[in-house]
Amino acid sequence: MGLRLYHEDNLKVLDELYGEVGQYVDLIYADCIYESKDYRWVWKSLRLLKPNGIFIVQTDHHTVADYYNMLSQGYYFVNWLIYKQEWGGISKRYFPRKHDDILVFAKNDEYKFYPERVMIPKVTAGTSLDKRGDGLKIPCDVFDDLGNFHTMDKERVKGSDGKNIQWQKPLKLMDRLLAPFTDRRDVVLDPFMGTGTTGVWCLQNNRHFIGVELDNEIFNIAHNRLLQDEAYEVGLIDIRKGLNI
């Protein structure tokens, strides 16, 4: 699968991509800077989506209302997801804030969705209430079944100081978010690439990946992580020719 990695400001890259390829992205996933009120990247990203494309933004209470209000103007609402993780410190002044908000919007109501790819066991398996008899169900919009991404998890990536990269997301979350909305050889764009988890998932699942990261150390971590398996066909891909679109 093809990779395109940019060590650059995402606003600049998004403009360059739009001028080069137009609307050729199938899905955008953005684990953005939660407290930032600079939303220019949103509109620059949305220009790249195909007519049936999916836009996913992961944030928290700081900006989720802003994103929802913006995207509701002209885009098709799919889901407001809750990604729950119960670890870390707590406060005695309010209920512990132990989740991220994930908004899913589409350009229109013709987006792809394959829930059978992410089915999970249900409590009524093996009983008369299990109508299909397979013991499985579609996950609900509160992801409380994925479990915590523990600090000692073997998937964790460390920085030069030997500490975990705090905002890294696990592959199991990427599977839940990306598998139902994309097909093989689809193009996935991550304008806040971070440690490259979205790209790793794409390589493992035969999707093309475009990643953008400004921070030098984090970009190098992602770059090395994505290039470590020589079995992958890696290089700067031509969006129009390399992806046969």
What is the DSSP pairing of strand 76-84 with strand 99-106?
A: antiparallel
Question: Band of the pLDDT at 1, cuts 50, 70, 90?
Answer: low
**pLDDT at residue 233, rounded to an integer:** 42
* pLDDT (0 to 100) of residue 125: 64
Q: Which domain CATH number covers 28?
A: 3.40.50.150
Region of poorest pLDDT, from 57-71, 171-185, 229-243: 229-243
Which of 195, 208, 197, 207 is CA-nearest to residue 170?
197
Q: How far is CA 110 from the centre of its chain?
A: 20
pLDDT (mean) for 238-243: 38
- Number of helices (H) and strands (E) in the chain: give both, helices first: 7, 10
Q: Which contacts of 90-94 are long-range, i.e. CB under 8 A and separated by 24 or more positions?
A: none
Q: What count of other Cβ atoms lies within 10 Å of the Cβ of residue 6? A: 20
Strands 25-31 and 208-212: unpaired
Look at residue 76 and give its three-state secondary structure: strand
User: At residue 204, does pLDDT exceed 50?
Assistant: yes
Q: Which amino acid is at 133?
A: G
Using CA atoms, how far apart are residues 26 and 188, in angstroms rounded to an integer? 6
Instruction: Kindly indicate the confidence band of residue 245, based on its pLDDT and cuts at 50, 70 and 90.
Output: very low
Counted domains in the chain: 1
Statement: residue 128 has pLDDT above 80: no
Pairing of strands 76-84, 142-143: parallel
The burial of 196, by beta-carbon neighbours within 10 Å (0-12 exposed, 13-18 middle, 19 or more buried), is given as: buried
Q: What is the DSSP letter of 158?
A: B
Q: How confident is the model at residue 126 (pLDDT cuts 50, 70, 90)?
A: low
Domain that holds residue 98: 3-242
d(CA 105, CA 145): 23
